[in-house]
Amino acid sequence: MRLRSSVALVSLAVLTAPSLAAQSGSAQMTGTVMTAITVTGSDLKFGTVLKTQTKTIAPAAGGRFVITLAANTNVTIDYVLPATLGPNVALSAWGALYNTVNDPNSALFVPIFTNTGTYTTLTPTGSMYIWIGATLTTTNAAVGSYSQPIRLTLTYN
């Protein structure tokens, strides 16, 4: 008897399944359209240097990143700076200026102690300006042209 009553219960469950399939439910789905981040830049030019020389380009006169993004939104900035431009052409003493307007004179100086790193910031204007300078040291370097990329990646938090 017990066995038969159990079978009956299972049958009931199978029979009620079609009525569940007919029910409806809803879930709210939302998305936020973010302002696309744009990053443009100008090169950090040391110009001509002698085979053995030290030359410093101040951030205000150095390379510049111009960034547009959503205002008042936290963003993470990952940077990668080269340690050298080539054999015996070393880079050091990196420094940056940061501003939300295109004015290095009123910008905030940001020392850079490592060649890779991360900052988190936001801008009320939707614009960021970053100027980058460094010191180049040649030590009996071979004559020629040298260059290496400076990369900045911005990600909305």
Convert 87-115 into a string of H (helix), E (strand) and C (coil).
CCEEEEEEEEEEECCCCHHHCEEEECCCC
Q: Minimum distance between the CB of residue 132 and another protein, rounded to whole angstroms?
A: 8
Closest of 74, 69, 65, 133 to residue 99, by C-alpha: 65
Q: Would you mind telling me the total number of residues written for the chain in this entry?
A: 157
Check residue 103 for interaction with another protein (CB under 8 A): no
Q: Interacting stretch for another protein, rule CB under 8 A, among 2-10, 11-19, 80-88, 100-108?
A: 80-88
CA 6, 7, 8, 10 torsion: positive or negative? positive
Tokens encoding 99:
């501003």
Q: Minimum distance between the CB of residue 47 and another protein, rounded to whole angstroms?
A: 7
Site string for another protein, 106-135 (x = CB under 8 A): ----------------------------x-
Residues 22-61 that bind another protein (CB under 8 A): 29-51, 55
Q: Which residues bind another protein (CB under 8 A)?
A: 29-51, 55, 63, 65, 67, 81-82, 85, 89, 91, 134, 136, 138, 141-156
